[in-house]
Structure 1
């Protein structure tokens, strides 16, 4: 079963960073509630998703303030740096919103086994 990861775009950073994902995982980029404006998410080189970017996040609606993408089954293991850039209007209106950088680390390793619960004590 694929994992679901939410990468939150904050006013000063992206969290989590770096983000560990596997092929088939669903990754959602979303603006934090206090972040206003329009932002472009682009990858420095090739991205690891089934649909190629860049893509836009825009505050004001849950439909436009997030964007979900599936890590491609063919995505190579490795690091995929990305940049979240405010558009020109957002930069002028909200100068505190700066360009942010993040990384997706794609692994092809199987997920770790679930942790065993503590053994029950005999009475």
Structure 2
């Protein structure tokens, strides 16, 4: 009886481990550059395009920035501070942290879904 219990326990453990390894990854892409082209302050939406370095967003992608952390890093001092969405302006360069699942939406040209990002950093120095 003890032997059967140990075998069942071992099989359960093996099944548990194998199921953990099959979960889809949703990696976080850190430091994706973009330029703000339009701002909808009422709905907290940003329309962005690629900067000269990256080719990810194209000429028109919409980011839903509701409940998204917006920060500013002073490159001279290294001080990082939280800022408000209203501090962003058209023409500002930003750096976003975005999940791979959100980047997949960009590959579907028929998708009208807005992108959700983890964090927005204002990279334009003021």
- TM-score, reference length from structure 1: 0.24
- TM-score, reference length from structure 2: 0.24
Greater strand fraction, Structure 1 or Structure 2: 1
Larger Rg: 2
Greater helix fraction, Structure 1 or Structure 2: 2
